[in-house]
Amino acid sequence: MAAYLRRFYHALTRRKMLPESVAALLENSQMARVLTTLDLTALGVGSTLGVGVYVLAGSVSKETAGPAVVISFIIAAIASVFAGLCYAEFGARVPKAGSAYVYSYVCVGEFVAFIIGWNLVLEYVVGSASVVRGLSGYVDNLFGNVMAKAFQDLLSIDVNFLSPYIDFFAFGLSLVFAVALALGVKESSNFNNVFTIINLAVVAYVIICGLFKVDIANWSIDIDDIPEENKPTAGKGGFAPFGINGIIKGAATCFYGFVGFDCVATTGEEAKNPQKAIPLAITISLAIIAFAYIGVSTVLTLMWPYYLQDPDAPLPYVFRELGWEIAAWIVSIGAIFGLCASLMGAMLPLPRVLYAMANDGIIFRFLGKIHPRFQTPLLGTCLAGLLTGILAAVFDLQQLVDMMSIGTLLAYSIVAACVLLLRYQPEGDEIEKAVKYGHISFFSQLFNTKRIKSPSTMSASIVTWGVMLYLVFVIAAGGVLKFAEEPLFSGEGWAIALMVVTAVLCILNLVVIGLQPSSGAKLFFRVPLVPLIPGLSIFINIYLMLMLDPNTWIRFAVWMAIGFLMYFSYGIWQSEESKQDSGRRSVIYAHTNVAFEDDEEKVKRRSSD
């Protein structure tokens, strides 16, 4: 029984073995390396700067943060940069297709990698479906909602958790974009570049035109100056009418506007120079996105009072209210191009994740086949488009948006944890250097009293347990913030004491991790201020996961149950690492048998003598 459990544990934690040489890793790809740093940057910007810039600023300012939505976007940008830096280091370490899935497979093990990959599939499908449904609604709105009326008459749906009608336009649009992606990543990337440039031009147009209509008084509106019909939902007035609590909640919402940049990391096998291009593209795209969000939210709240914002389409609404009808049309058309770029960026990563998982054998292998002419995962791309189209056709936008990015946040957390683990792992001759220091007690190594500079197996083990304990304490701290929010902000002693204890334990863990010797591996990009930045990234991501509604966790549980059924009935037996394990066991068994036969011959000879 114990031997079976050990084999089972080994199967769950076996890691993907990559070539030690980076050159060999870069050559070992079936995909065409055609994407430049500019292409990847445009992909990151296009996939992220879509629904958020045209919706979030208005809805968060009206309902959650007021004019302080600007601060909310700054906080969300900082949190996104933390996650982006971790992705950038992993992109430099492991330039392979599959993003966080491959990163966790190399660092943590197969089972965790499957969990991440399976969640990324869900998130990319839901994300693509929400964008295409939003795009369908935006186009329909420009023409007086004629499509919605026609589809309602043709095929209405009377089910409370589905859309009122089947959106054939959204379904067809998904298939068109899937075919475009399947025909070649370079060609679809060129379209994405054009859409992204137009999107950025419209954002710049909004900011520049908005500067001519700003009124600084809109950031300091007194509650007595707000009409009676708006007072119930207007907070206390001023720059932060909903207080610090509103700013933090607004930041949690605004954070989802930055989700999408990680699609850059899925193109590790299609970038010309992934070790350099991926970190640069992630960093540059996040900077552009942050500037766009902060700029748009600033001019929007200065142009028009926060309590009068339109939560669905704030930019066209404000320009129309100010008498700029042409500007409203320009923004509407620009939004369509922006959503097209966002859809392209949202659909591109999904077949790459399917390709990586199928290639490793932990999902069905036919999904990973590369078309010899187009050099793309043709079947996986078309299947992704079909699945996206079905979801977009039968769910409305609000229902899709409610399926929040729990998988993405989980992926961000594991990537940050992997950065911590790998940064303190001994490599090459570093173990030998550590041995020279002689025997070191556990407590001496815990605080590194001898100031050892080369990592050892003991220091790496301390970091591993430190990261695990940090995750536990972060969940506890996040739970206090979520479930004791009101007593905490009211200044109740027990809530403050709980928060202080959990915070001290989190900080103590990071201090112990930071005292351990780190690896000297040479990388093009390394996350600065380790372990602080990965630690903060983990804290923010887990806190946002805890803020998700119960329905999201229920959907997550159902999806994971389906995934576990697939993995334990197929993937755990058919994975490449499983076959390599079997091969290694066969070799050991063969060698053992040969040695045993040799020993038998020696015994016989001695007996005859």
Q: What is the pLDDT of residues 230-281, one digit of tens each?
A: 888 888 899 999 988 788 888 877 887 787 777 777 666 667 777 778 888 8
Q: How far apart are the first and last CA of the chain?
A: 45
3-state secondary structure of 271: strand
pLDDT at 433: 56
Q: What is the mean pLDDT of residues 478-503?
A: 89
pTM for this predicted structure: 0.79
Q: Is 498 found in the same domain as 478?
A: yes
Confidence of residue 444 (pLDDT cuts 50, 70, 90): confident
559 and 597 together in one domain: no
What whole-number distance in Å separates Cα of residue 238 and Cα of residue 236?
7
* pLDDT computed for residue 399 by the predictor: 63
Centre a 10 Å sphere on the Cβ of residue 244 and count the other Cβ atoms it contains. Answer: 12
* Contact residues for 204 (Cβ-Cβ < 8 A; gap 6+): none
pLDDT of residue 521: 74
pLDDT at 219: 94
**Quick check: 352 pLDDT over 80?**
no
Confidence of residue 398 (pLDDT cuts 50, 70, 90): low
* pLDDT score of 95: 58
In a domain, 428, yes or no: no
With respect to residue 425, please indicate whether it lies within any of the assigned structural domains: no
The answer to whether residue 103 sits within a structural domain is yes
Q: Tell me the range of 206-210, 359-363, 368-372, 599-603 where mean pLDDT is highest.
A: 206-210
Mean pLDDT score, 369-374: 76
**384, 354 contact by CB (below 8 A):** yes
Position 477 confidence tier, pLDDT thresholds 50, 70, 90: very high
Instruction: State the chain's mean pLDDT as an integer.
Output: 80
Last residue of some domain: 373, 390, 420?
Answer: 420
Query: What average pLDDT does this structure show over 318-334?
Result: 86
Higher pLDDT residue, 438 or 417?
Answer: 417
Whether residues 187 and 171 share a domain: the answer is yes
Are both 297 and 231 inside the same structural domain?
yes
pLDDT in tens, 118-161: 888 887 888 788 788 877 877 776 777 788 888 888 877 877 76
Would you give the DSSP letter of residue 214?
A: -
The answer on 582 and 482 residing in a single domain is no
Choosing from 386, 420, 454, the residue where a domain stops is: 420
Residue 429 resides in a domain: no
Looking at the structure, do residues 559 and 579 belong to the same domain, yes or no?
no
Q: Is residue 211 part of a domain?
A: yes
The DSSP secondary structure of 404-461, one letter per residue, reads: --HHHHHHHHHHHHHHHHHHTS--TTHHHHHHTT----HHHHHTTTT---S--HHHHH
Beta-carbon contacts of 19 under 8 Å, excluding residues fewer than 6 positions away, are 25, 28
- In the predicted model, what is the mean pLDDT of residues 569-590? 68
Comparing 137-141, 285-289, 328-332, the range with the smallest average pLDDT is 137-141
pLDDT higher at 92 or 307:
307
Closest CA to 81 of 501, 540, 396, 390: 540
Q: Tell me which residue range forms the domain holding 590.
A: 575-609
Q: Is 135 part of any domain?
A: yes
In a domain, 433, yes or no: no
Grade residue 189 by pLDDT with cuts at 50, 70 and 90.
Answer: low
C-alpha to C-alpha distance for 309 and 560, rounded to whole angstroms: 39
CB 223, CB 237: distance < 8 Å = yes
Q: In which band, very low, low, confident or very high, does the pLDDT at 29 lie, cut at 50, 70 and 90?
A: low
Burial annotation 483-506 (CB, 10 A radius, 16+ → b, else e): ebeebbeeeeeebeebbeebbebb
In CATH, what number is assigned to the domain containing residue 395? 1.20.1740.10
Residue with tokens 């999806």: 559
Does residue 559 lie in a domain region? Answer: yes
- Report the length, in residues, of the chain: 609
In whole angstroms, how far apart are CA 240 and each of 220, 223, 245, 257, 533? 9, 12, 10, 21, 28
Partners of 165 in beta bridges: 156
Q: Mind spelling out the 3-state secondary structure of 28-54?
A: CCCCCCCECHHHHHHHHHHHHCCHHHH
The residue ranking higher by pLDDT, 62 or 184, is 62
The pair of structure tokens assigned to 144 is: 């007086």
Question: Half-sphere exposure of 484 toward its Cβ, with a 13 Å CA cutoff?
Answer: 18
- pLDDT value, residue 532: 94
CA angle 262, 251, 291 (to 5 degrees): 60
Q: With contact defined as beta carbons under 8 Å apart, do 452 and 437 qualify?
A: yes
In three-state secondary structure terms, 305 is coil
pLDDT over 80 at 42, yes or no: yes
Give me the pLDDT at residue 513, please: 94
Same domain, 489 and 594: no
- Identify whether residues 582 and 462 lie together within a single domain: no
Token pair, residue 183, equals: 């025909």
Judgement on whether residues 305 and 351 belong to the same structural domain of the protein: yes
Using an 8 Å Cβ cutoff, are 72 and 251 in contact? yes
User: Tell me, what's the pLDDT at 458?
Assistant: 87
How large is the average pLDDT for residues 418-432?
74
Same domain, 590 and 555: no
Same domain? For 163 and 200 the reply is yes
CA-to-CA dists, residue 351 to 102, 117, 155, 189, angstroms: 14, 11, 31, 15
Determine the pLDDT at residue 596.
Answer: 35
Number of domains in the chain: 3
Who's near 589: CB < 8 A, 6+ residues apart? none
Say whether both 521 and 604 belong to one domain.
no
pLDDT score of 599: 44
Angstrom distances, CA of residue 154 to CA of 149, 157, 388, 429, 601: 9, 10, 22, 70, 84
